[in-house]
Amino acid sequence: MRARLKFSPIEKLRERAVVRFPLEKIHGPLPELKLGDIILVRHKRGGLMRWLLRQVTRSYWDHIALIIFPKNETKGYGADILIEAIQYGLMTSLRRGIEIHRLEKYLDDPDKFDIGIKRVAWLDDGMRNRIRAFLLMNVDTPYYPISSVKLFMAWISKGYRRMFFRRQRFTCSGLIQKAFYEAADWEQRSKVIFRNIGYTPIQLQDITRPDDIAISDACEWVWNKR
């Protein structure tokens, strides 16, 4: 019977430290990611919309995504899988909505993208799974912020209200904020508000921005702090 090879702790660290993607050559090997890790993205060739967003928010980052299936070859996950609400330009036709992709789309081309990673360290498995469930339930939801006019119409009209809630829409950062807020127990919700407290859940979708999450003390940096 063939004996199993045993690796020392140092060898295991070396194995994890293998650089697989071009961006790792700049910032070092990626840590082992977890379900619920927040991916901050900078589009280096994102055009006018991305540039304006960074200027207005005075932030290095202009986009947010979240890991829903960390790489786990034992379970058959050969890559880190993320979910994100995508908009490619100012025109309505370029608003694609909530999609699922591999993280490596942002790791393979350092000339186009930079990323950082933050984590809400205290999450348990139950909350992580609820975050993922909320996000998966919203796949293909359109990308579009909720307007005040539409909220007012939903308030005064029951018919419009039913249509309004059937057509939920999210910005990239609003999606992530709402997922954490909805997944948390009532007594924990204040701990996962990335912008200043005092807002309603609907307002949080509309006003939370990538820079709010980047500077928030509710989550900690685990890779490429900016």
Q: What is the pLDDT of residues 33-75, one digit of tens each?
A: 999 999 999 999 877 778 888 888 889 999 999 999 999 988 8
Contact 162, 185 (CB under 8 A): no
pTM of the model: 0.81
Q: Strand 95-102 vs strand 220-223: parallel, antiparallel, or unpaired?
A: unpaired
Decide: 116 and 225 in contact? Cβ < 8 Å: yes
- Quick: pLDDT tens for 85-121: 987 655 555 567 899 999 999 999 999 999 999 999 9
Assess if residue 80 is contained within a domain.
yes
**Above 90 in pLDDT, residue 171?**
no
Q: Is the pLDDT of residue 15 over 50?
A: no
Q: What's the chain's average pLDDT?
A: 84
Q: In this predicted model, what pLDDT tens digit does every residue of 209-223 receive, in sequence order?
A: 999 999 999 999 999
Percent of the chain whose pLDDT exceeds 70: 80
Q: Name the least confident of 17-31, 119-133, 166-180.
A: 166-180
Domain count, the chain: 1
Residue 11 lies in a domain: no
CATH (domain of 169)? 3.90.1720.10
Give a yes or no: residue 23 inside a domain: yes
Q: Is residue 12 part of a domain?
A: no
Angle between helical axes of 172-183 and 125-137 (0-180°, round to 10): 130
